[in-house]
Every structure is written in structure tokens, then in C-alpha cells.
Amino acid sequence: MKELPLRLLLVFTFFSPSIAGDSLTSTTSLLDGQTLVSTSGIFELGFCSPGDSPYRYVGIWYKKIPVQTIVWIANRASPLTDYTGVLTIRKDGNLVLLNSMAEVLWTSGLTVSASNNPIAQLLDSGNFVLRAEESSSPESFAWQSFDYPSDTLLPGMKLGWNLKTSLNRYISSWKSFDDPSPGSYSFRMDPHGSPELFLYRESTKIHASGPWNGLQFSGIPQLKPNEFFRFSFISTQDEVYYTYEMNKGSVVSRLVMNTSGQLQRFVWSAAKQAWSVFWSDPKDQCDHYAECGPFGVCNSSQAPICSCLTGFQPKSPQEWNLRDGSAGCVRITPLDCKRDGFVTVGNMKLPDTTIASVDESMSLDECRESCSKNCSCRAYASANISGGESGCIIWATDLIDIRNFVDGGQDLHVRLAASELAKMNSGRSSDNKKVVIVNVLIFSGLLLLGIGGCCILNKKCGTTSLPSFSRRGPAAYLAKEHCSNDEISASKELDLPFFDLETIVAATNNFAIESKIGEGGFGPVYQGKLNNGQDIAVKKLSEKSSQGLDEFKNEVVLIAKLQHRNLVRLLDEGKRSLLSWQNRFAIIMGIGRGLLYLHQDSRFRIIHRDLKAGNVLLDREMNPKISDFGMARIFGDDQTHARTRKVVGTYGYMSPEYAMDGILSIKLDVFSFGVLVLEIISGKRNKGFYQSEQHSNLITYAWKLWKEGKSFELLDESLEDLHSISEVLRSIQVGLLCAQEQPRDRPMMSSVIMMLATENAALPEPKEPGFSSGRGLVDIKASIQSVNYLTATTLQAR
């Protein structure tokens, strides 16, 4: 304890002697330098100075965790300027914080005395409560810190409203690392309609959870109960709130609203003696509130991310083409009430429900009938899907903040004019003519399962009985009945085995929704199992797919012709596993060798054009395999670059010269490789990475850390077995070198392999990487529209 000034000695004489333990009484007080410790020693309460702050605050932190982690602060907006603070219980029963002049800096704010013998106690839950001496039940608490959160939600805390007292419990960000006063961001419940949780910047909504549907919030499908957490949503006449509990007492976790406006769920790692991010939100652009405007649907796995609901069209086509969907969509055909019908769209985050009407007693059929009779009704949905579908939500205004998920969400029934429904029905006969491809099972990130074969059923080729599956190469269904002689000849030349459609239908349980595991550029992906036990994955290509038969045939041809240990073969088996640093470095090297083969050592010089995490598979030995050659381009032996009118690929991986000007060279793949290296190191995606408002992608953040000499902070926090710091730093530097803005500054893959493999290699200093100066996708698209107008360049990214 620091030496105290004389004026504090006067305070000592004014108050009764301070005490130790977990409680304060009306005859004791807490001075700076003393603490209360909960019964089991889990939490500690006392005076603290967060970060480098010169001020003092009364706070609560974890007692047994060596890194001081503050979970609650009393006087957030009224700090002490010295070490003279005193926390005590006043005669009126209120907890108060006084400075050396006996001025009240903070109070519990009770209007009614707690009791004649009040006690302030720090509980093992982290809750600091004021109660009567004779009662310890939660109902008897006159005041509790859990009702007034700071930036942290602990297990058992309620996020929401006490409707009887109008108490709104919410968390809000600190202003900075060392300033705990309320910042710009808050996460709070809106109790109206079907209640939702919203993330606000000041008073502006920037993210919404979607309503609780009995299982989870419809906009956060990943927030499901698991072996560690259980989540609850309570809505009664008296209160509406969200809370969570831990299933394992040994796991320490907290939910934090950080200073940059991101929700982060941390878990303490005893092995690393550090906090690891278990979950965070928002994660991508579609998590932004109303990203695609009224009647617009956001889908982060497609490009552009915004589309209109069936029966709607962009309100502002020009802005829509520039990737600005904020104006949303408008109906193609006006409603006439009496003849309207409904179209069902699945896997949806429900629109903003705070202005919707809710009736928990209705069945879904009754809900439909009610909506039909109400000419103002725009859509309806089930309020609860936990045990079938029950309850009714009806929207009578524009549908805002809709999102489509690959896995999650629920059905939304949208009102359409009869003529629009007729158009839909007339087009359904063509649904049976969609392309079905068995290719690769893609998981987001790096934990990929490499399995599958390859099968196609298309508009051009009929359905006939075909030979069984073969391990000799990619299996393609090209029925002879309606195919051209050239196509039949080509399939024989490649020695392609065949599937019949019935086999694929049986393997995927008739493309059941339970079998759907993802979605790629071709369309949805389904998991299946053949009669011989072989795991496969099926890509179903729809007419609206950004890829088509030409891309598929291109992929089949290249995979059949190219053979390399780091290029995918369509029957590689694999497994999901947590990736150590040794695994990750081996994956980086393997991908690099695969690219080197494509660029230099194969029979053809090939540019992949769509290198990304989703197109890298891992076999059972965790060896990486480059897959998906639908976009690949073959170059001549003496050809170094070309210009294309059709820019294809994936946002976040395309090099600037390719995205902007359609210039195609092997340096495009080098750029994509650099992005992928940074993703593998960090465990984060370049697309949808939002560290702060200043760092809107992973490349920008990596470059910032590099300039500040903090590159090691880019490393995935989940890694516990790290042994080679120099290997990590070398890999980060290589990643930045590959992702440089100018193609001439990027190394060839032969140099990349040498730099990665050589411990003492002298590496050049990287320059500023591409797209790190703040230019976003809208800017890219705008440049393509304007600068390349005469070349009619089109952008088809995924």
C-alpha cells in the first residue's frame, strides 16, 4: 500500500476500522489497498487502476487468474484522483464511495433503506450484493451489481428488462483499455414485439441477434447449447432477459463488449495462462444491421452479398451494381390482398421483430390465415420452433435485416402477388434439370474434410443407368442419350467413371436438409454415403449459380490430367482435427508446393484463380490438397500474363490488378497464397475480419502489427504448443510479401518455398499490401464500372 497523505488519516478516524473477508457491514469500511474476497476465493473486490490509468476505481476481478481481468466497476464515470477512496455503508442503507473530502462519488442509489443491519457481500458468482443480515436469498437483495453491468456479462447475469421496475440491464464498452467510462457501444434488449438483442453505436443499431425462436436467436445460429454452455431466454409479464450458465464448473468464461464494438466470449486457458476468444460477433458484413435494406437478403457466402426476396427487385439498380444494397428492394408486382399468396424461404434470420405483432397461442396455420386476412400483413413466421412450429409473428411493415444462412435460421413466409407465384410455379419444372456435382466437402476455415467423388446431372444430358463408382479419377455423369459425340468422346478419353442419379439421391437421403453441410460457388453442398461406406459430398448446381457447366468441365479435365501430392484427388479421405502450429506450417508449405507445381512443374502453366481456405482439403495425415479447378486458366509456355473480360474468384483473395483491371498472371495466385498464409497463422478470415473501424480486413491488421513490431500478436490465440517463434514471424513476413499491391513486388512461388524452408534466409522488407489503404469492395466495383467500361469487364466473385 502506498504511503497515504495526512488527510486520509483523518478519514481513518472518522470511519470504523476496515476489515477483511467477503462482506462489509454498517460498522466497517473498505480502504484503498484492502480487498474483499468471495468465500471460495473466486472473485476479489477492491480499488484498482485499469491499464495505465492514473485514476482509481472500485472494481471486481478474478482472484485466481494472474492477469488482472476486471469484470465490474462501480464508479465508471467518477474516478478517484488519488488513493483516498473509502467504500462504506451509509446510515440510510446505501453503499457509497467517498473521497478524502467525504464527497459521494458513487452510490447504490436506494430510495428505501435495505434494513437496520445491512450487509454488502461479494458472492462466488462475482455478484456484489446489498442485503439484510438475516436473509441471503436473491429475492431479498436490496441492490446487486449484476443489475448494473459494466462491459462484462458473467454466467448467471441477466441481459434485459425488469418490466415491473423498468430496470434495463445491459453491457457497454469501455472508452479505452485504461478508461472504463461508458464508451460508444452497448448491447441491450429491445422488449417490444418479439424481443431481440441489439448492438448499438451510440443510439444507432449496428447489429441484431434476431428474435429467440425457442432454440437460439435466429440471427446467431452458432449460439447453441453445448457441453460447456447452456443459454436461456425468459419472457414473462414481469421480465424479459437472456442469460447463460456454465455446464462445467472448471471452465471460466465471460462475455465482453469490447472498445471496438465487438462482442467476444472469452474462455480462460490454464495451460496458456491466457484468455482465448471462443466466439465473437459481429463476424462479417451480413452481421451489419439492415445491410441489404428493406426486403433485401444478405448472404455472406455469395457475391454480391445482397439479393432481393423472390418477387422483388433492387430499388436503386445503380447503387445495387456498386455493391450498395442499403436502399433495399421493392415489389415487382403490387399486392391486391384478395388474390395474394405466400412463398416460403428457408434458413433465414427473421426480419427485425420489434415492430411485429406476436401471438404465442396461435398455430402456424392460424398464423397464415390471420396474415391472409390482414391486407397490411407482409410476412409471417413461427415464433417457436423448439418442438415443431408454434406461435405467430406477423409483420405489417417493411421486412428489414434479413439474412440467409447455410445452416441455421428458420422459415419465413413472404406475401406475394398471385402473378409472381404463378411465375414461380411455372419455373419449378426446371428444378429437376439442375446440375448435381459430387466434388469436395468444404468447411469454412482450415478444418476441412477431404472426401468425395464427382458427378453431374445437367440440362443437356438425360438420366440413364450408368456404371458404378471408380477410384481411377473424378466421377462424372454425362449420359450418352442426349450428349454430343464430342462430350462422350471426351469423357472416354479422360476415363471418367459414372454415377446414376438414383445412387446420389440415396446417398444424400434425397438431398435432405439434414444432409446439407455448406454452400459454395456451384450451390449447396450435401454430405452423403455410398453403399460401400465411402463418404462423399454432393454439390447441387442451380440455374442461379455463378458457376456453370463450363467451369465444372474445366475442373474435371484439370483434376483428371494433373497429378501431384498437393493437388486434390477426388477420393482422398480426411478428418477434422485441431491444427497445431506444426500442422499449420506444414499446410502452408504443402499449399506452396502445390502452387509451384501448377505454375512451373506441371505439363501446363496453370493459374488457379480461386485459391482460398475453402478450396484446400486435408487428408488423414493433414496433408493439404488444392481443390476446385473450375476457375483455373491454362497458359502457354511462353505466356506470362493476359487480360480477361470476366473476373472470377472470391472477395478477399483477389489481387488488386486482377479485381480492378482483369490482369491475369501467376502473381494473382501468389497474392491469394499470401492472404491464405495470414489466415492460417491467425485462424481468422480476411473477408469479414473487423478488428476495429480502422482495420476492416486481416491484411490491414497484419500490416499494422508488422509496422509496429508486434507481428507475433497475429498468431492464433488458441495455439498452445508453439515452439518456433522465428518460424511464425518468417511466415508472416512471407505472407505480407506475397500480398503486396504491385505484382512485380511479389515473389515467385519458387522463392516463396525457399524463404519458408530456409531458417536463416535473408527476406526483403514487405511494402504496403494490396487493399490495405482503405479501398473497399465498393471502390473496386466502382473502378471496374468506370475505368474499364470500354472493356466491358464483369466481376463475378464469391
Calpha distance 113→94 (Å, rounded):
7
Residue 776 in domain:
yes
Residue 780 has pLDDT above 60, yes or no: no
Calpha distance 106→260 (Å, rounded):
27
Rounded to two decimals, what is the model's pTM?
A: 0.58
Encoded amino acid at 101, one letter: M
Considering only residues 690 and 661, tell me which one the structure prediction assigns the higher pLDDT. Answer: 661
Considering only residues 252 and 602, tell me which one the structure prediction assigns the higher pLDDT. Answer: 252
Residue 683, burial from CB neighbour count under 10 angstroms (0-12, 13-18, 19+): middle
- Going by pLDDT thresholds of 50, 70 and 90, the confidence category of residue 137 is confident
Considering only residues 723 and 321, tell me which one the structure prediction assigns the higher pLDDT. Answer: 321
Residue 640 has pLDDT above 60, yes or no: no
Question: Whole-number mean pLDDT of the chain?
Answer: 78
Calpha distance 714→703 (Å, rounded):
10
For the chain, state the CA radius of gyration. Answer: 30
DSSP per residue, 431-458: GGG-EEEE--B--SSS--B---------
- What is the number of H-type helices and E-type strands within the chain? 14, 46
- Mean pLDDT score, 225-245: 89
Q: Which residues of 377-391 are buried (b: 16+ CB within 10 A; e: fewer)?
A: bbbbbbbbbeeebbb
Residue 619 designated active-site = no
User: Both 190 and 259 in a single domain?
Assistant: yes
Residue 309 has pLDDT above 90, yes or no: yes
Encoded amino acid at 499, one letter: F
Helix axes of 725-738 and 666-682: crossing angle, nearest 10 degrees: 140
Specify the pLDDT at position 72: 98
Specify the pLDDT at position 631: 76
Picking from 131, 148, 165, the residue at the C-terminal end of a domain is 148
Residue 433 has pLDDT above 60, yes or no: no
User: Both 293 and 278 in a single domain?
Assistant: no
Picking from 283, 300, 331, the residue at the C-terminal end of a domain is 283
Calpha distance 135→118 (Å, rounded):
10
Show the CA angle centred on residue 48, arms to residues 267 and 151, nearest 5°.
Answer: 45
User: Both 639 and 760 in a single domain?
Assistant: yes
Among 418, 426, 431, which Cα is nearest to 311's? 418
User: Both 271 and 385 in a single domain?
Assistant: no
Calpha distance 549→400 (Å, rounded):
35
C-alpha cell at 773: 489503404
Residue 717, burial from CB neighbour count under 10 angstroms (0-12, 13-18, 19+): middle
CA count, 13 A, side-chain hemisphere, 340: 26
User: Both 621 and 735 in a single domain?
Assistant: yes
Specify the pLDDT at position 638: 52
Ranges 132-146, 380-394, 530-544, 771-785: which has the least confidence:
771-785
Residue 694 in domain:
yes
On whether the CB atoms of residues 462 and 481 are closer than 8 A, the answer is yes
Catalytic hit among 190, 281, 287, 610: 610
Residue 412 has pLDDT above 80, yes or no: yes
Residue 638, burial from CB neighbour count under 10 angstroms (0-12, 13-18, 19+): exposed
Calpha distance 321→373 (Å, rounded):
37
**What are the tens digits of pLDDT across the range 455-471?**
333 333 333 222 222 22
Handedness of CA 332, 338, 344, 349 (dihedral sign): positive
Calpha distance 377→340 (Å, rounded):
11
- Mean pLDDT score, 626-631: 76
User: Both 537 and 422 in a single domain?
Assistant: no
Q: How far is CA 715 from CA 552, 681, 701, in A?
A: 36, 5, 12
C-alpha cell at 2: 502506498
- Going by pLDDT thresholds of 50, 70 and 90, the confidence category of residue 579 is confident
Considering only residues 649 and 781, tell me which one the structure prediction assigns the higher pLDDT. Answer: 649
- Mean pLDDT score, 726-742: 92
User: Both 661 and 696 in a single domain?
Assistant: yes
* Preceding omega of 304 cis (within 30 degrees of 0): yes
- Going by pLDDT thresholds of 50, 70 and 90, the confidence category of residue 440 is very low
Residue 166, burial from CB neighbour count under 10 angstroms (0-12, 13-18, 19+): exposed
Q: How many domains is the chain partitioned into structurally?
A: 5
* CATH code of the domain containing 647: 1.10.510.10
Encoded amino acid at 655, one letter: S
Calpha distance 277→266 (Å, rounded):
5
Strand order in the sheet with 128-132: 23-25, 118-122, 128-132, 143-144
Residue 487 in domain:
yes
C-alpha cell at 302: 455469395
- Mean pLDDT score, 88-111: 91
Specify the pLDDT at position 443: 29
On whether the CB atoms of residues 547 and 541 are closer than 8 A, the answer is yes
Contacts of 255 (CB under 8 A, 6+ apart): 152, 153, 154, 171, 244, 263, 264, 265, 266
Residue 211 in domain:
yes
> If residue 795 lies in a helix (H) or strand (E), which one and from where to where?
strand 794-797
How distant is the alpha carbon of residue 76 from its chain centre? Answer: 30
Q: How far is CA 780 from CA 5, 661, 663, in A?
A: 62, 10, 14
3-state DSSP: the chain helix, strand, coil percent, rounded to 5?
A: 25, 30, 50
C-alpha cell at 574: 480426411
Phi, psi dihedral angles at 507 (to 5 degrees): -65, -30
Ranges 31-35, 305-309, 627-631: which has the least confidence:
627-631
Ranges 147-151, 336-340, 429-433, 543-547: which has the least confidence:
429-433
Encoded amino acid at 310, one letter: T
Residue 452 has pLDDT above 60, yes or no: no
Residue 569 in domain:
no
- Going by pLDDT thresholds of 50, 70 and 90, the confidence category of residue 291 is very high
Residue 574 in domain:
no
User: Both 469 and 587 in a single domain?
Assistant: no
Calpha distance 367→392 (Å, rounded):
5
* CATH code of the domain containing 493: 3.30.200
Q: Quote the percentage of the chain above a pLDDT of 90.
A: 41
Calpha distance 88→135 (Å, rounded):
20
Q: How far is CA 615 from CA 64, 135, 567, 627, 723, in A?
A: 43, 61, 10, 5, 28
Q: Quote the percentage of the chain above a pLDDT of 70.
A: 74
**What are the tens digits of pLDDT across the range 541-576?**
665 555 556 666 665 555 555 444 444 433 363 333
- Mean pLDDT score, 681-697: 67
Structural domain span for residue 650: 579-798
Residue 73 has pLDDT above 50, yes or no: yes
Calpha distance 762→335 (Å, rounded):
69
Calpha distance 353→208 (Å, rounded):
10
Strand order in the sheet with 57-62: 35-37, 43-48, 57-62, 70-73
User: Both 386 and 311 in a single domain?
Assistant: yes
Most confident of 323-337, 617-631, 641-655: 323-337
- Mean pLDDT score, 290-295: 96
Three-state DSSP string of 157-201: CCEEEECCCCEEECEEEEEECCEEEEEEEEEEEECCCCCEEEEEE
**What are the tens digits of pLDDT across the range 352-409?**
999 999 999 999 999 999 999 999 999 999 999 988 889 999 999 999 999 998 777 8
On whether the CB atoms of residues 616 and 676 are closer than 8 A, the answer is yes
* CATH code of the domain containing 231: 2.90.10.10
Among 463, 535, 538, 552, which Cα is nearest to 500's? 463
Residue 122 in domain:
yes
Among 753, 755, 757, 795, which Cα is nearest to 778's? 795
Specify the pLDDT at position 427: 56
User: Both 166 and 155 in a single domain?
Assistant: yes
C-alpha cell at 389: 412450429
**What are the tens digits of pLDDT across the range 191-222?**
999 999 999 999 999 999 999 998 889 998 87
Calpha distance 665→608 (Å, rounded):
10
Encoded amino acid at 744, one letter: R
Residue 562 in domain:
no
Specify the pLDDT at position 623: 82
Contacts of 661 (CB under 8 A, 6+ apart): 643, 787, 788, 793
User: Both 635 and 754 in a single domain?
Assistant: yes
Residue 506, burial from CB neighbour count under 10 angstroms (0-12, 13-18, 19+): middle
Contacts of 349 (CB under 8 A, 6+ apart): 210, 218, 219, 401, 402, 403, 404, 405, 409
C-alpha cell at 269: 486457458
Picking from 407, 429, 451, the residue at the C-terminal end of a domain is 429
Q: How many other C-beta atoms are found inside a 10 Å radius of the C-beta of residue 651?
A: 22
**What are the tens digits of pLDDT across the range 266-276?**
888 887 788 88
Residue 643, burial from CB neighbour count under 10 angstroms (0-12, 13-18, 19+): middle
User: Both 292 and 272 in a single domain?
Assistant: no
| DSSP state, residue 755 | H
Calpha distance 329→316 (Å, rounded):
8
